[in-house]
Amino acid sequence: MTKVAIVLSGSGVFDGSEIYESVLTFLALEEKGVEYQCFAPDIQQLHVINHLTGDVAEGESRNVLVEAARLARGEIKELGEARVEDFDALIVPGGFGAAKNLSDFAIKGADMSVLPAFLDFAKGMHAAGKPVALICIAPTMAARIFGDGVKCTIGNAEDVAEAINTMGGKHQACPVDEVCIDADNKLVTTPAYMLAGSISEAGKGIRRCVDEVLKLV
């Protein structure tokens, strides 16, 4: 049976994994009869956002793994336990946790670095010829994982696209219900909530993203 690793970055669009994107990914995989295992790093979040007001919750701190366990209903492992040989593909939902906890893109832009534990696992999957899907803002990490010339999309946000190109990637504009496929690198990306105005819109692209990843397995 095909088995997919899903790396989460917390719980909540503004400081962790985007909840709808994560659940839509789980659902799309289950509908295909694919087994998956969630992982997250055991680190503190960059900060905590009050999702009611959008403000930073001063003085609060949360753990990425503990928060991601909410999304995975407790069925989650620490990222360091992920082994390339155990999985056929890797999927990373979006949410600003990808740009704040798995990387520091939200702070440093094109000068970003990727969390070493995640970078090692993602590069290992790529080196083993296994497909990777990056959703929403997560494709900002593509050039760090795959190197110069990698094709990816975050939709049509010009500032983010420019940063991707500056890092050596090749950004492709893409509508919300479509995907960008870099066949050489076995990378599939889709804009999701970089463009989506509803769950159903995000779902169209995510389902297609999952379908294309599974074709590459």
Cβ atoms of residues 135 and 96 within 8 Å = no
**CA distance linking residue 95 with residue 23, whole number of Å:** 12
136 counts as catalytic: yes
Cβ atoms of residues 21 and 136 within 8 Å = yes
Hey, what are 54's tokens? 């959008």
- Annotated catalytic residue: which of 136, 152, 180, 209? 136
Q: How far is CA 8 from the centre of its chain?
A: 7
Q: How far is CA 183 from the centre of its chain?
A: 18
Residue 116 phi, psi dihedral angles, 5° rounding: -55, -40
Hey, what are 60's tokens? 């609060």
| Active site residue ranges | 136
